[in-house]
Structure 1
Amino acid sequence: MAILPVPILKDNYVWLLHQHGLAVVVDPGEAAPVAARLAQLNLRLAAILITHHHGDHTGGLAGLRAAFGCPVFGPPTVTGVDRPVAEGDRVALDDIQLRFDVMAVPGHTLDHLAYFGHGALFCGDTLFACGCGRLFEGSPAQMQASLARLAALPGDTLLCCTHEYTLANERFARAVEPHNAALLARMEHDEACRSRGEPTLPGNLACEAATNPFLRWSEPAVIAAARLHGALDDSPRQVFTALRRWKDDFRA
């Protein structure tokens, strides 16, 4: 299975997976760039996966569905989803020989889902490279629990999130852990990627565990930084809550 990001809008990615001449796309915020990439690669769209209801993840859904007539899997809250799925379900795409386990990961939105399969995680706006999504609907407790579930997946899992926020997230991570050598090396690598016009994604969960402060709530340096920014104790939820509030107002 090949996986590639299709840039859309300002900083979104649509993920395109393909094999055997068939493709699956995840979170098509626009139709035209996806259709052009499918045509370029001579692929037929077999299915669409949706993580949550925000327009920059669903804006191209109607156009692609009209053009290709393919099934759309996602939360039942999303207009255009004809194969609603929820926690514990499995998306089985026999034509393309792909299977994905569905995980409910509320926090960014209450209907947010992630799809895990074939060594890759498609997590929308829940977990970002060196960051996590804002809390528009869910609680800090929900988001921290969702992130803990994702962090428990194998370290070699490919992280396929849907925004190129990596450099900004890394600047915040450095404010939290200025002496994290793995983070400093990652920043150098990712800055070089962006200077060449290349995406920083996909990454992997082992790298996130070593550098992403929103998964490092048990690290002494992260706890100390969170306590300086309002954490009431050293618990993962308090540390996460303080970090997320700090990040909301952070300016590098």
Structure 2
Amino acid sequence: MPELVTIPCLSDNYAFLLHDAKSGKTALIDAPEPGAIQAELDKRGWNLSEIWLTHHHWDHIDGVADLVAATGARVLGADADKHRLPPLDQALMPGTDFDFAGHRVEVLDVPGHTVGHIAFYVADATVAFTGDSLMAMGCGRLFEGRPDQMWDSLQRLMKLPADTKICSGHEYTAGNISFALTIESENEALRARREQVEAARARREPTVPSLLSDELATNPFLRAHLSSVKAALHKETASDAEVFAEIRARKDDF
């Protein structure tokens, strides 16, 4: 199984390394800044082979040029966003897959935060790199997409195996939990997760990655289809997508 490493970057971003020991290949998922990433590679004695980009925002791509110059790594990203990503060596289409050191990487279409956003699922590592689509206890703000697009994207991710590690792009978990409690204050799993997150942050530990099973049990953006959540929002007759839109709008004003 490939080894996964989480790298804190900037003030609250994360990048991730996926390393295959047999081949010696290493992939980087998103590149917020070069320094922290290169330091982690050097510490482990790993050579960077590939950079996979989830979307075009600056805090996910600003380190690409320096890392490519230093390592010669290939850059992979969405074909739909190639006009606003760093130069791509491989343009990816959602619904396809590619090989990384003998491991199948599925390219998932997850628009909403941006219209060209993609995610990467690696079954051999039980991991999904979701960028700013599905996040720990949250989802990305809808800068370009529509609520129904994001709801469709989240449903796609919800179908992954429950033990999938969700590698998202930011340390927003504590704030997201505070918001979630305004919707499901009696959710015991949510209360327990708040305690776990508070303890982790007190130790200055990342709360990312998170397990999909935990997201399904506590993340309000994945629970818009539940009758209990609809009742809490007084949206009993609304569609799932309409309830998701209401939750997103409330979070935007939180």
TM-score normalized by structure 2?
A: 0.93
One-letter identity of the residue aligned with 2:251 = K
Instruction: Note the C-alpha offset of 1:68.
Output: 1.0
User: Where does the alignment leave 5 or more consecutive residues of structure 1 unmatched?
Assistant: none
How far did residue 93 of structure 1 move? 2.0
Equivalent AA in structure 2 for residue 206 of structure 1: S
Change (3 A) 1:248 1:232: farther
Matched letter for residue 244 of structure 1: R
SS of the counterpart of 1:176?
Answer: coil
SS of the residue corresponding to residue 181 of structure 2 reads helix
Q: What is the deviation of 1:121?
A: 0.4
CA gap of 1:232–1:81, structure 2 versus 1, over 3 A, is farther
Give 1:232 shift: 8.6
Q: Structure 1 stretch 82-91 or stretch 31-40: which is displaced more?
A: 82-91
- Which residue of structure 1 lines up, in the alignment, with residue 39 of structure 2? 36
Is structure 2 residue 72 aligned with structure 1 residue 65? no
Give distance in 1, aligned partners of 2:89 and 2:141: 28
Q: Where does 1:124-163 land on structure 2 (aligned, <5 Å)?
A: 124-163=131-170
Show structure 2 runs of 5+ residues with no match.
none
Instruction: Find the aligned partners of 1:22 and 1:103 in 2 and give their Cα distance.
Output: 22
3-state DSSP of counterpart to 1:185: helix
- Cα distance, 1:234 vs. partner? 2.5
Question: Share of identical aligned residues, percent?
Answer: 44
8 Å CA contact 1:128–1:161 kept in 2: the answer is yes
Is residue 2:209 matched to residue 1:208? no
C-alpha displacement of 1:148: 0.5
The amino acid across from 1:31 in the alignment is: P
**Is 1:222 paired with 2:223?**
no
Q: How many residues align?
A: 245
Quote the residue 1:243 is aligned against. Answer: 247
Which amino acid in 2 is paired with 1:18?
H
RMSD, aligned α-carbons: 1.2
Shift of 1:2: 1.3
For 1:116 and 1:196, the matched residues in 2 are separated by 29
Contact 1:86 1:102 in 2 (8 A): yes
Q: Quick check: 141-150 or 73-82, which moved more?
A: 73-82
Q: Which moved more, 1:97-106 or 1:186-195?
A: 97-106
Residues 27 and 196 of structure 1: is their aligned pair in 2 closer, same or farther, counting only changes over 3 Å?
same
- 1:162-206, CA deviations, whole angstroms, 9 ceiling, x for partnerless residues? 101000000011110000000000110111000001011111111
Asked if the contact 1:62–1:80 (Cα under 8 Å) also holds between the matched residues in 2, the reply is: no
1:116 aligned onto 2:158: no
Runs of 4+ in 1 over 6 A off after TM superposition: none
TM-score norm. by structure 1 comes to 0.94
Supply the distance in 2 between the matched residues of 1:44 and 1:25 (Cα, whole angstroms): 10
